[in-house]
Chains A and B, each alone.
Chain A
Amino acid sequence: MMRFMLLFSRQGKLRLQKWYLATSDKERKKMVRELMQVVLARKPKMCSFLEWRDLKVVYKRYASLYFCCAIEGQDNELITLELIHRYVELLDKYFGSVCELDIIFNFEKAYFILDEFLMGGDVQDTSKKSVLKAIEQADLLQESGSPSLRDLMPTDYSLPPL
Chain B
Amino acid sequence: MPAVSKGDGMRGLAVFISDIRNCKSKEAEIKRINKELANIRSKFKGDKALDGYSKKKYVCKLLFIFLLGHDIDFGHMEAVNLLSSNRYTEKQIGYLFISVLVNSNSELIRLINNAIKNDLASRNPTFMGLALHCIANVGSREMAEAFAGEIPKILVAGDTMDSVKQSAALCLLRLYRTSPDLVPMGDWTSRVVHLLNDQHLGVVTAATSLITTLAQKNPEEFKTSVSLAVSRLSRIVTSASTDLQDYTYYFVPAPWLSVKLLRLLQCYPPPDPAVRGRLTECLETILNKAQEPPKSKKVQHSNAKNAVLFETISLIIHHDSEPNLLVRACNQLGQFLQHRETNLRYLALESMCTLASSEFSHEAVKTHIETVINALKTERDVSVRQRAVDLLYAMCDRSNAQQIVAEMLSYLETADYSIREEIVLKVAILAEKYAVDYTWYVDTILNLIRIAGDYVSEEVWYRVIQIVINRDDVQGYAAKTVFEALQAPACHENLVKVGGYILGEFGNLIAGDPRSSPLIQFHLLHSKFHLCSVPTRALLLSTYIKFVNLFPEVKTTIQDVLRSDSQLKNADVELQQRAVEYLRLSTVASTDILATVLEEMPPFPERQSSILAKLKKKKGPDTATGLEEAKRERSAAVNGGPEPAPASAASTPSPSADLLGLGAAPPAPAGPPPSSGGLLVDVFSDSPSAVAPLAPGSEDNFARFVCKNNGVLFENQLLQIGLKSEFRQNLGRMFIFYGNKTSTQFLNFTPTLICSDDLQMNLSLQTKPVDPTVDGGAQVQQVVNIECVSDFTEAPVLNIQFRYGGTFQNVSVKLPITLNKFFQPTEMASQDFFQRWKQLSNPQQEVQNIFKAKHPMDTEITKAKIIGFGSALLEEVDPNPANFVGAGIIHTKTTQIGCLLRLEPNLQAQPPSPRARVPRPRCCSWSDPVPCVLALSWTPQ
Contact = CB atoms under 8 A, between A and B. Distances in A.
Interface of A: 1, 3, 14, 16-17, 20-24, 27, 29, 43, 45-51, 53-55, 72-74, 76-79, 81-83, 85-86, 93-96, 102, 104-109, 111-112, 115, 119-130, 134, 137-139, 141-144, 146-150, 152
Given A22-B104, A76-B259, A79-B259, A120 B343 contact: no
Interface residues of B, number: 94
Interface in B243-277: 245-247, 249, 254-257, 259-260, 263
Given A82-B303, A125-B206, A146-B7, A141 B89 contact: yes
B48 interface: no
A119 B99 CA distance: 12
B347 interface: yes
Contacts of B64: 107
Interface string B1-25: 1111011111100110110010000
Query: Which of A3, A22, A43 has the most chain B CB atoms closer than 10 A to its own CB?
Result: A22
A108 B1 contact: no
Given A51-B383, A150-B4, A78 B246 contact: no
A59 B931 CA distance: 64
B304 A142 contact: no
Contact of B139 (A29, A48, A115, A120): A120
Interface in B84-100: 87-89, 92-93, 96, 100
Nearest to A95: B3
A48 B173 CA distance: 28
B163 A130 contact: yes
B689 to A, nearest CB: 23
A74 B306 CA distance: 16
Given A14-B69, A95-B1, A78 B303 contact: yes
Q: Is the interface of A mostly helix, strand, loop or mixed?
A: mixed
A48 B383 CA distance: 10
A146 B53 CA distance: 12
A124 B206 contact: yes
B96 A108 contact: yes
Contacts of B136: 119-120
A136 to B, nearest CB: 9
B699 interface: no
Closest 8 CB pairs of A and B: A146-B9, A120-B174, A72-B806, A78-B307, A141-B88, A79-B307, A125-B202, A127-B246
Contacts of B206: 119, 122-125
A54 B304 contact: no
A116 B360 CA distance: 44
Contacts of A144: 8
A10 to B, nearest CB: 16
Chain B interface mostly:
helix
Contact of B300 (A85, A120, A126, A128): A85
A49 B383 contact: yes
A59 to B, nearest CB: 11
B167 interface: yes
A127 B249 CA distance: 9
A112 B94 CA distance: 12
Contact of B623 (A48, A73, A129): A73
Interface string B757-774: 000000000000000010
Interface in B378-395: 380-381, 383-384, 386
Contacts of B773: 22
A145 B462 CA distance: 76
A157 to B, nearest CB: 13
B171 interface: yes
30 contacts: A16-B67, A17-B67, A20-B174, A22-B178, A24-B775, A27-B745, A48-B342, A48-B343, A49-B346, A50-B383, A51-B383, A74-B624, A82-B255, A82-B300, A109-B7, A119-B167, A124-B170, A124-B206, A125-B166, A126-B255, A127-B247, A138-B92, A138-B126, A139-B6, A142-B87, A143-B53, A144-B8, A146-B10, A147-B14, A149-B9
Given A47-B346, A73-B806, A130 B303 contact: no
A147 B11 contact: yes
B247 A126 contact: yes
B342 A149 contact: no
B620 interface: yes
A146 B171 contact: no
Contacts of A134: 126, 129, 163
A50 B419 CA distance: 13
A77 B231 CA distance: 25
B775 A120 contact: no
Interface of B: 1-4, 6-11, 14-15, 17-18, 21, 53, 60, 63-64, 67, 69, 87-89, 92-93, 96, 100, 103-104, 126, 129, 132-133, 136-137, 139-140, 163, 166-167, 170-171, 173-174, 177-178, 201-202, 205-206, 209, 245-247, 249, 254-257, 259-260, 263, 300, 303-304, 306-308, 310-311, 342-343, 345-347, 380-381, 383-384, 386, 620, 622-624, 744-745, 747, 773, 775-776, 805-807
A54 to B, nearest CB: 4
A27 B773 CA distance: 14
Contact of A49 (B93, B103, B347, B747): B347
Contact of B249 (A104, A105, A115, A126): A126
A96 B173 contact: no
Contacts of B126: 134, 137-138, 141
Given A77-B347, A96-B1, A120-B174, A142 B7 contact: yes
A159 B886 CA distance: 84
A86 B249 contact: yes
B173 A127 contact: no
B170 A112 contact: no
Contacts of B2: 95-96, 150
A74 B64 CA distance: 34
Nearest to A132: B1
Given A14-B69, A76-B310, A108-B63, A45 B380 contact: yes
Given A95-B1, A115-B133, 9 more contacts: A78-B303, A78-B304, A82-B300, A96-B3, A115-B137, A119-B170, A123-B209, A128-B246, A138-B88
Given A54-B622, A79-B304, A127 B202 contact: yes
Contacts of B259: 76, 79
Contacts of B137: 115, 120
Contacts of B177: 1, 120
Contacts of A23: 745
A141 B10 CA distance: 16
A126 B96 contact: no
A115 B805 CA distance: 23
